[in-house]
Amino acid sequence: MRRKVEKPITVGMVGTGYGSELHGGGYENIVGIPVRLKTVCGGSDRAKAEQIKERYGYEQVTMDYMDLINDSEIDVIDINVNQTLHIPIAIAALKAGKHVICEKPLTGYVGNGEDNIGRTVPKSTMYDAVLSQMDELKKVIDESGKKFMYAENTVYAPTVQKAAEILRAKKTKIMLMISENTLIGSSSPKGGYWNQIGGGTLMRNGIHGLTGMLWLKQQEAKVRGEEIHVVSVLADTGVQTSAIEKEKHRYVNAHPVDVEDVAIVTVTFSDHTKCVVICSDAVLGGSRNNISIYGHDTTLRCNLDPCDILDTYFMDEEGLDNVYISEMLPQKTGWNQAFVSYEILRGYAGELKNFMECIAFDEKPDSDFELAYEVMKVIYAAYRSAEEGIKITF
């Protein structure tokens, strides 16, 4: 029987960056649940906020996120700003009785704005600070009774969701998982600075595959009636682009100042199985995001991108200025594996649909605070491991 929702879920969006556009497209794809996009908060960029308002149909613009939090009509605050503001805004929203959608990463250590902290601040200090921030948020979530929904699109990618369905049906024991998250560098000039991102390629890219694998392990534990948790993290990080002569650096858009541009992380679970994250900012050929799953009775390979739904070959780029073909490939000529239904195949539509259903029908989101906490703990343990040259054991 189809469940019916009488009252629209009213959304307030904080932020006008890339994430706000992905979420805006996700709301557009929701069917069966009425959603009212009321207010978008532009921070310091009113012109961009007005663009987001017109493009996705928000009713109004504000420059102060407290206007959203104090608005009794708004049910959920969708946070798409720099991760340093995620926890403060989430706490304010939860205390005001709002549900929260928080874009990844949940948080990150960026110091007080000082430069070069990736080389000067011990990773153990960062690790302790991040855990303390998350513990503070957890207390507020528990007291609020509201939902905290972690917007990690990989969890909602159709390939990953289908893999989870298969693993649950077969009650497969996952023996090993490997994710690759590689590209030719960050599209943002902030990507090379720890005080802007809270880390390098592991924080920006590897986090996707890591989150997907931790979530799949959660699914296995539930269906098999087991308690499975992370027991140790071993990592190696580096700056591989330092090997490239300056005049030969033109193809790689990685310019790390005090962050890593390559990381390999091995996570060991309490059932003695493992997952491995491989990420790099110096790989040509476009972005590559996948998860390989090796179980006791099955092997699954989840390709988020590129996929082979549509192959394109062009002699020139005439007429293609506004046609999105693929990510992190500078040219559209020759052969390409074109992105099709990007917002669906990468999971952005699925995550917003799940979040609205959870609010409407009082359900638990697939991607929640527990998962976000575990991911951040593993990432900063990985940074500690790489710096200290030891395995970090929980």
Looking at the predicted structure, is the pLDDT value of residue 4 above 90?
Answer: no
Arithmetic mean of pLDDT, 80-100: 96
**213: confidence class by pLDDT, cuts 50, 70, 90:** very high
Q: CA–CA separation, 148 vs 134, rounded Å?
A: 12
The pTM for the full model equals 0.94
Tokens linked to 235:
């990592």
Q: What is the pLDDT of residues 186-204, one digit of tens each?
A: 878 888 999 999 999 999 9
Q: What is the CATH number of domain 9-153?
A: 3.40.50.720
For the domain made up of 160-348+380-393, the CATH class stated in words is alpha beta
Confidence of residue 253 (pLDDT cuts 50, 70, 90): confident
**Considering the chain, what percentage of its residues have pLDDT values greater than 90?**
78
Task: Determine contact, residues 327/339, Cβ cutoff 8 Å.
Answer: yes
pLDDT digits (tens, 9 = 90+) for 161-181: 999 999 999 999 999 999 999
Please check the confidence at residue 249 and state whether its pLDDT lies above 90. no
Quick check: 247 pLDDT over 70? yes
- Cα separation of 77 and 69, whole Å? 8
Region 16-25: what's the mean pLDDT?
90
For 323-335, what is the mean pLDDT?
85
Q: Give percent above pLDDT 70 in the chain.
A: 99
- Amino acid code (one letter) for 123: K
pLDDT interval class at 2 (50, 70, 90): low
Per the listing, tokens 């206007």 go with 67
- Number of residues that this document lists for the chain: 394
Q: What percentage of the chain's residues is helix, strand, coil (to nearest 5)? A: 40, 25, 35
Mean pLDDT on 75-89: 95
What are the residue boundaries of the structural domains of the chain, listed by start?
Answer: 9-153, 160-348+380-393
The string of pLDDT tens digits covering residues 263-281 is 999 999 999 999 999 999 9
